[in-house]
Structure 1
Amino acid sequence: MTHSLALDVDRIRREAQRTIDAGPVRSAYGPDIERVICVLNNVVAAEVVGWLRCTRQAILAHRSTPTPAGESFKTQADRRMRHAVALADRIVRLGGRPDFDPATLAQRSRTDYSTADDTELRAILEQNLLASRIAVATYRQVADWLGDHDPLSRRLIESVLADERRTAAELTALLGSPAAPAPRTSPE
């Protein structure tokens, strides 16, 4: 026994034409679409603030000669900028507007921009590791929250999360390497 699939192509075409002026398909999200866009914009903010921090660190680390830490900071900065652009593109595809407002970036980022003393490599590495761990925990929650509701955004967040885990592993390795000075001990 064969089952045939009867499609009403004319009805499908009329429906598609009727909704073409509505912009991106948003009906699957219901009222949560604005919340998804807001959450993604907060992740954009975290990535932009991280890009700013890592770019500054890469430039300062290469003052005299390239170092493994400086190369790592440059790689981290490049990843973060790619993430921010990909997330902003996703926001546009969802019908939203990416929020790059400098006045609110730090507040929305959930990570700290503060910079450690430029001469204290270990402190800089620890600061970046802390930011990466915050991002890993945050992005994991975002991916779980998105679930099957928005698989495209979830996969994008999971991709960013995988890079954050890679960054955390790189920073941990740098902290254990001879190039990272041992922590200073304070006199008691």
Structure 2
Amino acid sequence: MADMHSQPFAAAAGDDLGVRLTLLNAALATEVVSVRRYTRHALSVRGPHHEAVKSAFGQHAREEQDHALRLAERIQQLGGRPDFNIGGLMSSGDTQNEEGRTLVEMLRENLAAERVAIETYRDLIPYFAERDPTTRRLLEELLDEEEAHANALHALLEP
């Protein structure tokens, strides 16, 4: 079997591109799931201060939508096709009625999801560091924004 050094450069670059596109599409799917979750929570929150929390969840949904759009655009710039099929990432809770869930439960669910996104971007950044500095910068920006989301949610959970 031939090693990578015996392959033409284009083939080796194409293999790496495929990996990059797969990783970016996985990040895109995570963002799309986040948009759905925040939107669902914004529409279902009740109780005291529900308008403020609804507004906060709505803002987070819009920011996650922006993340998804930026990732999809980068995938296209790299010659790939954004994959919006999120079937494998959908949880059973994604189709359940939110009625009866407490605000604290929704905040904790969103915070856990933000932490997953943060870890995802932290894992991806070193991979893209030398291979694709433009994508690395995008991922660093998204990481900063996800950390801000997590901090805001954490602050809402504090007594």
TM class by smaller structure: 0.7 to 0.9
AA at the equivalent of 1:133: R
**Gapped runs of 5+ residues in structure 2?**
1-9
Structure 1 residue matching 2:87: 3-state secondary structure: coil
Query: Which structure: larger Rg?
Result: 1
AA at the equivalent of 1:55: T
CA contact (8 A) 1:45 1:100 kept: yes
> Separation in 1 of the partners of 2:142 and 2:72?
13
AA at the equivalent of 1:119: R
| 1:83 and 2:72 correspond | no
From 87, 91, 102, the equivalent of 1:103 is 87
Distance change (3 Å), C-alpha of 1:78 and 1:134:
same
Distance change (3 Å), C-alpha of 1:155 and 1:113:
farther
Partner of 2:93: 114
Structure with the higher fraction of residues in helix conformation: 2
From 33, 43, 54, the equivalent of 2:27 is 43
Distance change (3 Å), C-alpha of 1:153 and 1:64:
same
> Separation in 2 of the partners of 1:88 and 1:41?
8
Distance change (3 Å), C-alpha of 1:174 and 1:156:
same
AA at the equivalent of 2:77: R
From 128, 135, 138, the equivalent of 1:153 is 135
Structure 2-normalised TM-score?
Answer: 0.82
Q: CA RMSD in A?
A: 2.5
- Write out per-residue CA displacement over residues 135-173 of structure 1, whole angstroms, 9 at most, x where no aligned residue: 101111101111121011111111111111000000001
* Higher RCO structure, 1 or 2 (CA under 8 Å, sep 6+): 2
> Separation in 2 of the partners of 1:119 and 1:87?
31
CA contact (8 A) 1:53 1:113 kept: no
Cα distance, 1:113 vs. partner? 6.7
- Write out per-residue CA displacement over residues 109-152 of structure 1, whole angstroms, 9 at most, x where no aligned residue: xxx57256643110110111111111101111101111121011
Q: Percent identity?
A: 35
Structure 1-normalised TM-score?
Answer: 0.70
Distance change (3 Å), C-alpha of 1:143 and 1:118:
farther
